[in-house]
Amino acid sequence: GESVGLHLPTLSVQEGDNSIINCAYSNSASDYFIWYKQESGKGPQFIIDIRSNMDKRQGQRVTVLLNKTVKHLSLQIAATQPGDSAVYFCAETFNDYKLSFGAGTTVTVRA
């Protein structure tokens, strides 16, 4: 499941499929970007980050893409699992200081 460049508040994805979550950031001076996962009743959990001198970074089952030209960030989750159901937030910052959060995307994984 994906939102093709647009931020959508919800995303429903079939278990095993790949997920793409999009985020538009606002400050062209931002140099550090983070994706957080937040499960119900818990604090945001760090997933992956990327600095502005990179355009792609991979983790375990997750990839973050950064397009500075259009100020766009995306998170790709491979082989989505039921445990991936959560709200996902992107955040931007300059010099690792105060975060500015984007609107979250609620991901629901269908069995």
Write out the two tokens for 19.
Answer: 């997920």
Nearer to other proteins, 15 or 51 (CB): 51
C-beta of 79: minimal distance to other proteins in Å?
A: 25
HEC string for 83-106: HHCEEEEEEEECCCCCCEECCCEE
- Those residues with Cβ within 8 angstroms of residue 102's Cβ, 6 or more apart along the chain or in another chain: 7, 23, 24, 25, 89, 90, 91, 92
Nearer to other proteins, 1 or 35 (CB): 35
Among 28, 41, 60, 83, binds other proteins (CB under 8 A): 41
Nearer to other proteins, 18 or 52 (CB): 52
Q: Under the rule (CB under 8 A), what is the footprint of other proteins?
A: 32, 34, 36, 41-46, 49, 87, 89, 91, 93, 95-99, 101-104
